[in-house]
């Protein structure tokens, strides 16, 4: 009998999304409640709780869980259950004062100006933002996009159980890609899969991604290409373009019975190692037994070493997660080997030289990264054919040609193969 991995901290998924008459009644009741505005990050987290991706959370974290999560990866309210990144909601001081403990409030998505859920406020508290940033992001540098988000949070956190009433635009805008964990599990079970490797994507799928996925298929029943549909930092490629690019590659270059595509509504935090743990946790809820962890997973700039996100899995308490990391070395195209390769397999150490016109001028290893691909495309420079499939490049070129304003893309060490300060 094929059995998928159990959800995190629970024998079954715990979705908080209301349906049918329950949802209708709660919407009517919410019309008379005070509004609490949610940022895009907070709304994404709420939907993740709604669909059961953040099982077994029941709402935004209180102070003790926030502190335990930051310092010890643990939630005291759930017997010390492992959790790597705080899931919190903040509001300004005056608004917090107007809300009584025990009062129910309507959770309002600012981006769409719509009701998304309700919450019973059981706690109001302040946090040490610098402590959270040091623990979660390993930096307090305001240039780090995750740090910037935390520092921009309002003064007071609200905590309590939630009821989720909407998945916003995700089901319609990303029809066929957006999935709830229960839906993904059903697909895996229908195919008889018990071992499933998740491939986290926030960039269009280039040849290194495809190579990692093919390796995973060799050791697991199938691969779950799971892409982020929430907000990204400036310069990143938007989700709708990325979905089309990934479709083009997967549909032509993968065996259809060995790959399933999905998408989730969370926003990137760019927390590197800590975010890799969160990615693993909610992929376990989706039914995945493994998470592919390659170079610079969920990183940004030079804040993390290229393999810190792999090392952290050996640093957390044993048994914290049932899902396992599938650690992959640095991958690249090798002109000497004539194929994709990794540092574990390829003996040719010289770096490939590509001129301004995209022509190969010597050397062996062409290092591939999403950042480098974005830089080449944003500057209108040719992309070497070894970098990505022509179908993908055509879609990205159309997107970049349509832009009226260009965002400068800065290369960091993990994108170029140069050791950074944290290597």
Q: Counting every residue, how long is the chain?
A: 423
Structure tokens, 77: 């309210």
Task: Give the chain's count of helices (H) and strands (E).
Answer: 15, 17
CB atoms within 10 A of CB 175: 8
Structure tokens, 175: 């029809």
Q: Please give the Cα distance from 324 to 280 (Å, whole number).
A: 8
In terms of phi and psi (left: phi > 0; alpha: psi -120 to 50; beta: otherwise), the region of 311 is alpha
Task: Give yes or no: 203 in active site.
Answer: yes
Look up tokens 């993968």; give the residue: 254
Q: Which of the following is catalytic: 138, 180, 185, 203?
A: 203
Is there a contact between 146 and 271 (Cβ–Cβ < 8 Å)? Answer: yes
Residue 239 Cα distances to 162, 180, 226, 421, angstroms? 27, 17, 12, 31
Q: Which of the following is catalytic: 41, 138, 202, 295?
A: 202
* Cβ burial, residue 165 (10 Å; 0-12/13-18/19+): buried
Question: Which DSSP state fits 351?
Answer: B
Q: Which of 296, 303, 14, 292 is nearest to 146 (CA)?
A: 303
> What is the three-class DSSP state of 155?
coil
Q: Please give the Cα distance from 256 to 240 (Å, whole number).
A: 21
Residues that are catalytic: 202-203
């Amino acid at each position: 009998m094929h059995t998928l991995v159990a959800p995190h901290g629970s024998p079954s998924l715990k979705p908080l999304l209301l349906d049918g008459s329950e949802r209708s009644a709660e919407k009517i009741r919410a019309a008379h409640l005070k509004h609490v505005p949610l940022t895009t990050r907070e709304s994404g987290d709420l939907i993740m709780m709604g669909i059961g991706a953040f099982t077994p959370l029941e709402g935004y974290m209180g102070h003790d869980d926030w502190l335990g999560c930051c310092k010890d990866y643990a939630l005291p309210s759930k017997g010390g259950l492992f959790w790597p990144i705080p899931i919190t909601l903040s509001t300004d001081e005056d608004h917090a004062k107007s809300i009584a403990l025990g009062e129910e409030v309507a959770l309002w998505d600012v981006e769409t100006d719509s009701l998304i859920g309700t919450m019973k406020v059981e706690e109001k508290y302040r946090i040490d933002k610098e402590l959270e940033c040091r623990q979660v992001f390993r930096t307090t540098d305001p240039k780090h996009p995750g740090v910037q988000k935390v520092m921009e949070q309002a003064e007071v956190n609200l905590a309590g159980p939630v009821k989720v009433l909407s998945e916003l635009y995700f089901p319609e805008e990303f029809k066929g890609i957006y999935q709830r964990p229960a839906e993904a599990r059903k697909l895996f079970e229908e195919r008889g899969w018990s071992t499933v490797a998740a491939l986290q994507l926030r960039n269009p799928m280039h040849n290194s991604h495809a190579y990692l996925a093919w390796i995973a298929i060799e050791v697991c029943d199938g691969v779950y290409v799971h892409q982020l549909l929430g907000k990204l930092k400036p310069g990143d490629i938007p989700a709708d373009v990325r979905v089309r690019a990934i479709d083009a590659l997967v549909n032509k270059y993968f065996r259809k019975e060995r790959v399933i595509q999905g998408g989730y509504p969370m926003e990137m935090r760019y927390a590197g190692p800590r975010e890799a743990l969160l990615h693993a946790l909610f992929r376990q809820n989706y039914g995945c037994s493994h998470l592919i962890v390659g170079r610079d997973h969920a990183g940004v700039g030079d804040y993390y070493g290229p393999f810190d996100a792999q090392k952290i899995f050996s640093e957390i308490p044993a048994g914290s997660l049932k899902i396992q990391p599938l650690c992959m070395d640095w991958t690249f195209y090798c002109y000497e080997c004539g194929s994709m390769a990794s540092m574990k397999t390829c003996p040719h150490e010289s770096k490939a030289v590509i001129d301004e016109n995209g022509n190969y001028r010597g050397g062996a290893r062409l290092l591939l990264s999403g950042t480098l691909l974005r830089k080449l495309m944003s500057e209108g420079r040719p992309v070497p054919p070894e970098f990505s499939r022509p179908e993908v490049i055509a879609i990205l070129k159309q997107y970049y040609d349509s832009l009226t304003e260009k965002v400068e893309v800065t290369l960091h060490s993990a994108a170029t193969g140069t050791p950074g300060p944290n290597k």
